[in-house]
Structure formats: C-alpha cells, structure tokens
Amino acid sequence: MGTEDREQARTLTGKTALITGAGTGIGRETALLLAEEGATVVLVGRRRHVLDDVAATVTGNGGTALTRPTHIENAEDVRALVAWTRDTAGPVDILVNNAGGAGRVVDVRWTGEDEWNAVMGVNLTAVYLLTQAVLPDMLERGGGSIITISSLAAIRPTLLGGAPYGAAKAGVRNFMAYLRNSYRDEGVRATCILPGAVDTPVHDTRAVPPGPEQRAAMVRPEDVARAVLLCASLPERTLIEELVIAPTAQRHP
C-alpha cells in the first residue's frame, strides 16, 4: 500500500479532535490513536511541558498535534480555546471530554465545599462549557462527535472515588443523554464511556492508593483509548450511546 493509499485508509483524516486531560493516561493514549488515524489532535491540559511531550511523540510518529494549556472550568478560557482551535486547525469535529479527578476526602461527612466544587468543576462543569463552545460549529456543519469519559462510579458509587466524583460522573452521563436526545437528528453524536478502575496517575492522589497487584488487574488507558477511537471512527450513520468497560477479573489479587 502506497503513502496515498495509507492516508486514504485512515478513518479520521481531515478531522480535528480536541482532547482534554491529554497529557497522561487515557487522554495521552487517545491522542496517539486518533492522530495515528489521521486526526489533527489539539492537546489540552494544565501543564504545557507534559502536553509538549505528547505532541512530540505524535509528530515523531508522523501525526499533527497542537497544545493549549487551559483551565477548562473557566468559561472565558474555554471560549478562547475553541476559537483558537477553529482559527489554527479548523472547527472541532471530535470533542473528547477526558479530564477529571477525584477529591482526597472520601467520606462526605468531611468533604469541604471547596473540594466539592473543584471536583464538580473539572468533571462536570468543564464538559458543559466545552460542549456549549463546540456545538454551534457542529450544528452548522451538520455533525460531530462528543465523547465523554464518565466512570462506573456514576452507577456504582463507592468510597473509593468519593461523593462528589460519583455525583459528577453521573451528571455527565445524564448530560450526554440530553445531548443525544436533543441533537442526534442534526448529526451530533454524544457518547458516554463508563470505565471501571483504570490504571492512571489519578490513583496516586487517592487517600489509599492501590498497590501494584491491584493496578495490574485494572483496565489500561490504551483500552479506553481504543473505545474512544471506535466511537469516533464509526460511519456517521452509527452512534454508540454508552459503553461500559470493566476489568475482566472481579476480585483483585
């Protein structure tokens, strides 16, 4: 297969994908996969040097990546991000809402208001702000994909994630259903992916981080990234509404 044939075979050639939390874990692996399939990936996070490292890997593999450090809980920053993306890489075709995080206090009796608001901000409010910012272009152009990484904590909340995390992840699951009901006939595909425990750096911030054997039994970030690619690359006539991804083993070693 020649170079031109390989380019035509890529399912996302000509698409612009904006990925939050793109510096590590699921976001990083998603960026690598979408770029490999031909998308221009816009990497969003808070730490420029981490984003730049991912961008270097993408470009080293022959892909195209842009970086934009952004506080996605801030409406003004989000509007500036989407406008910059439109001017630099084109309107967003694929939005991957991946950024997230849990609080350190797992018992709601001692969860402070600041921590509650911070967890809600990155897991729920940011998804609303980003969606609101990209929707006009998607509706004008007749379609697009909004893929949000929720969590099994949305339907099986536990002390592991804490009260605000589970509530926020349930909120984005509901929000994706709202988007599907409202805009699917206009070509906008809204997908919610609900992973179980994934071996990402977020576990390092938990009150009791899992040990090596527990991590080994978890879903890997690249597993979730492959699911994102599936949702983004299916023919526009087809929508995956929800996708649950869980470790095969129910009991950790």
Which residues, in sequence order, are CB contacts of 128 under 8 Å at separation 6+? 175
Q: Quickly count: other Cβ atoms within 10 Å of residue 238's Cβ.
A: 8
DSSP 23: T
Three-state SS at 88:
helix
- The two most distant CA atoms of the chain are separated, in Å, by 62
Tokens coding 171: 């909120």
Which residues, in sequence order, are CB contacts of 156 under 8 Å at separation 6+? none
Cα 101 to Cα 84: distance, rounded to the nearest angstrom: 26
- Cβ–Cβ < 8 Å for 100, 27: no
Tokens coding 192: 């919610």
Quote the radius of gyration of the chain (alpha carbons, Å). 18
Residues in the chain: 253
- Cβ–Cβ < 8 Å for 57, 34: no
Catalytic annotation, pick one of 128, 165, 178, 183: 165
Whether 178 is catalytic: no
- Cβ–Cβ < 8 Å for 195, 222: no
Catalytic residue ranges: 165
